[in-house]
């Protein structure tokens, strides 16, 4: 579905050019969940911006369903580390924003917005404003806003990094549930190895800058996964250890 064919991106700087990504080859199948990990500055956000059509590659091609990506697409959503909600809108109003911008049928999507908010534990908060919510709750609203139009591709740039450890784990578990019940092709950038192992079908490990694909690890652990005492604890720990060693050796 998403195809990266020898994708490179460099940036012009005062002292010449800086290669952020080099010769990235990656094929992501429909509804697959791919996590991307790598050191700070290795080009993870750049990779997402290339897939989102916000940035053009300086070499190679990015295609979605065989069509080269030159600009943002309606069926592709990018979610950031901070929720960036509109402070004057209610929770429901924020989730409905993309619907209003695209002039989609309000009644139908309102029902979906309510469903999504309930699913992430925000029933009863629909009419609140962002300042009345904790950071974790705000990020849940941003997740609902990202999912409201049923994107086919969900690009997430460290979406849970600003949250405390427990909230982060809860949100990852909710994302896992949502992906199991209504999957989208997902590319999830994180600095947390356990989070990558919990969520992903495949983990792409990038080398330090310029980012190259150093390894792609298949995570074959059955879902739902957890860090608690379930049947797969040993598999999860094994995968985490392998990725840890890979990253550290860089």
Ligand X SMILES: Nc1ncnc2c1ncn2[C@@H]1O[C@H](COP(=O)(O)OP(=O)(O)OP(=O)(O)O)[C@@H](O)[C@H]1O
Q: Which does 212 bind (CB under 5 to 8 A by kind): Mg ion, ligand X, none?
A: none
Q: Please, which residue, 130 or 159, has the CB nearer to Mg ion?
A: 159
Closest residue by Cα to residue 55 from 69, 73, 37: 69
Q: Please, which residue, 200 or 206, has the CB nearer to Mg ion?
A: 206
Q: Please, which residue, 94 or 192, has the CB nearer to ligand X?
A: 192
Q: Which does 185 bind (CB under 5 to 8 A by kind): Mg ion, ligand X, none?
A: none
Q: Which does 11 bind (CB under 5 to 8 A by kind): Mg ion, ligand X, none?
A: ligand X
What are the tokens at 200?
């992903």
C-beta pairs of 89-93 under 8 Å, 24+ apart in sequence: 89/129, 89/130, 90/126, 90/127, 90/128, 90/129, 91/117, 91/122, 91/125, 91/126, 91/127, 91/128, 91/129, 91/130, 91/133, 91/141, 92/117, 92/126, 92/127
CB of 211 to Mg ion, least distance (A): 11
The reply to whether 20 sits near ligand X by the rule CB under 6 A is: yes
**Which of the residues 21 through 50 are near ligand X (CB under 6 A)?**
40-46
**Which of the residues 133 through 172 are near ligand X (CB under 6 A)?**
none
Paired with 5 in beta bridges are 61
The reply to whether 209 sits near ligand X by the rule CB under 6 A is: yes
CA-to-CA distance for 210 and 43, rounded, in angstroms? 7
Question: Contact 44/157 with Cβ under 8 angstroms?
Answer: yes
Q: Please, which residue, 11 or 30, has the CB nearer to Mg ion?
A: 11
The reply to whether 176 sits near ligand X by the rule CB under 6 A is: no
The reply to whether 225 sits near ligand X by the rule CB under 6 A is: no
What b/e string do you get for 190-206 counting C-beta neighbours within 10 Å, with b at 16 or more?
A: bebbbbbbbbbbbbbbb
- All residues at 6 or more sequence positions from 19 whose CB lies less than 8 Å from its CB, including other chains: 8, 9, 10, 209, 210
Binding residues for ligand X, total number by CB under 6 A: 12
Site string for Mg ion, 34-73 (x = CB under 5 A): ----------xx----------------------------
Q: Please, which residue, 45 or 139, has the CB nearer to ligand X?
A: 45
The footprint of Mg ion (CB under 5 A) covers: 44-45
The footprint of ligand X (CB under 6 A) covers: 11, 13, 18, 20, 40-46, 209
């Amino acid at each position: 579905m998403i195809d990266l064919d020898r994708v490179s991106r460099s940036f012009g700087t005062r002292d010449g050019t800086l290669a952020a990504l080099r010769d990235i080859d990656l094929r992501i199948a429909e509804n697959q969940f791919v996590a991307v990990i790598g050191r700070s500055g290795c080009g993870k956000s750049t990779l997402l911006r290339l897939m989102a059509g916000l940035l053009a590659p300086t070499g190679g091609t990015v295609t979605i369903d065989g069509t080269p990506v030159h600009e943002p697409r309606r069926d592709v959503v990018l979610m950031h580390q901070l929720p960036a909600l509109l402070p004057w809108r209610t929770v429901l109003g924020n989730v409905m924003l993309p619907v209003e911008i695209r002039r989609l049928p309000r009644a139908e999507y309102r029902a979906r917005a309510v469903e999504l908010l309930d699913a992430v534990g925000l029933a009863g908060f629909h009419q609140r404003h962002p300042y009345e919510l904790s950071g974790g709750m705000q990020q849940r609203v941003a997740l609902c806003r990202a999912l409201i139009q049923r994107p086919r591709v969900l690009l997430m740039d460290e979406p849970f990094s600003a949250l405390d450890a427990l909230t982060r784990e809860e949100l990852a578990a909710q994302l896992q549930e949502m992906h199991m019940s209504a999957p989208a092709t997902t590319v999830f950038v994180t600095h947390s190895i356990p989070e990558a192992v919990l969520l992903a079908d495949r983990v792409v490990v990038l080398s330090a800058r310029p980012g190259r694909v150093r390894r792609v690890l298949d995570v074959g652990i059955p879902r739902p996964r957890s860090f608690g005492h379930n049947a797969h604890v040993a598999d999860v720990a094994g995968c985490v250890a392998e990725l840890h060693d890979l990253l550290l050796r860089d």
